[in-house]
Amino acid sequence: MCRHLAYLGAPRTLHDLVYASPASLLTQSYAPREQRQGTVNADGFGVGWYVPGRTGPLRYRRAMPIWADASFADAAQALTTTCLVAAVRDATPGFGTDESCAQPFRADSRLFSHNGAAADHEELAARLGHPLPRGVLDARTPVDSAPLFAAAVRLWRAGEELGAALARVAREARACSAGRYNLLAADGRRLAATAAGDTLYVRHGCGGVWLASEPLDDDPAWRRVPDRTLVTADRDGYRLTGISAVD
């Protein structure tokens, strides 16, 4: 189990987005309020963000708990972005805790995160993991999120829209293995996420839109996303669609 979040909007520092809120991702790493599986997320963390003038996102990942990396917390005060994806990790039993397993994953201009776990990883890998997308090392990572990422990258490269690809992957994953498939993606201009077995919230206002496993504060603007729902968002707002209704 993990906690993840995404942001799109007016420029903000990484520190503001990841550390500053009362129930920030940092706080969720050791005291999540709505996590159903596990109690802490200490098996690594990652932050991916977009910088004007760059084609693809930058990324920082570590195998340690986010609270143990004081240097990144300092650097995050000087780094600004208009789009971010970040995650803290509670490793699925049977999988390692090395840095390569920390999300978000990255391919081309997109970032990807999976909050959840597959009951039958071997079947998931057999059905969704191949063929491996060329040049995407994260799709080879020894973790149950990798086949989901590989499938999403293939769809994106074939022209599938950001959110439609996530909805299709979540449907196909559930068809071959029970599990929780909350998927999250960004391309610098849009966000998309699925609520498929775990909590997901969306908030629009104050110059941006946020997607998060749980609210970052007690602002009533946070809206709980129903299960089996796709959220797509841009700077103008967000839209909810049933996963089964997405072609």
Positions marked catalytic? 2
Token pair for 234: 């841009």
CA distance readout (Å), 214 to 44, 62, 144, 199? 19, 22, 22, 7
Instruction: Give me 121's structure tokens.
Output: 């990883």
Q: How many CB atoms lie within 10 A of CB 183?
A: 28
How far is CA 180 from each of CA 2, 36, 46, 177, 227, rounded to the nearest angstrom? 11, 11, 20, 9, 10
Cα(133)–Cα(182) distance, integer angstroms: 21
DSSP string across 103-159? S-EEETTEEEEEEEEES-HHHHHHHHS-SPPTT-GGGGSSSTTHHHHHHHHHHHHTT
| Rounded Cα gap, residues 101 and 226, in angstroms | 28
